[in-house]
Amino acid sequence: MPRFFLILLLCLLAAVRNVPAAADAASNFILYSDICVHAETGDLLGTRIGLIKLSDATYAFFQVAEGVTESPQINKLSSGDIKDGKIAFPVLIAGKSKIFQGTITNTAITGNFSDHSFGPSGKTVFHLNKVAMPERPSQQCR
């Protein structure tokens, strides 16, 4: 199922006309991730956020990996949700709505939940580096 969403997002690239505020001129889709493979168990662990600019708006997806990747949560961003190097959007974690908020650059997203609660991977602050598309296989956890 996660591959379906990745294929769908790649197909949508053909419809992309503009570049998100944090994107470089050569990319219309940007993926930020810290997903890695646990050395002992082989489980995937981490979080990823993707941004894609379509003709009507910029969309963000938030995806968690705990053993395997969960289905992504997709949000349409308003102009106020992503501007001046800041990003914010809602996510559903353990049945509770939370706001992910942070700073965004061409190389990373750093942020947390507005209530400063722990994320799915036990982190309070997320630092997600930009990864090349197509996404390379996950790296070993350190």
Evaluate if pTM is beyond 0.75: no
Residue extents of the structural domains in the chain: 2-140
Q: Which of 70, 119, 123, 79 is nearest to 99 (CA)?
A: 119
* pLDDT tens track, the chain, 142 positions: 454 444 444 444 333 333 344 444 446 889 999 999 989 998 999 999 999 999 899 999 999 998 899 999 999 999 999 999 999 999 988 888 999 999 999 899 999 998 887 766 667 899 999 998 665 566 778 7
Strand pairing class (36-37; 139-140): parallel
pLDDT at 18 (0 to 100): 34
What is the Cβ-side half-sphere exposure of residue 47, based on CA atoms within 13 angstroms?
24
Contact 16, 53 (CB under 8 A): yes
For residue 15, give both structure tokens: 């419809």
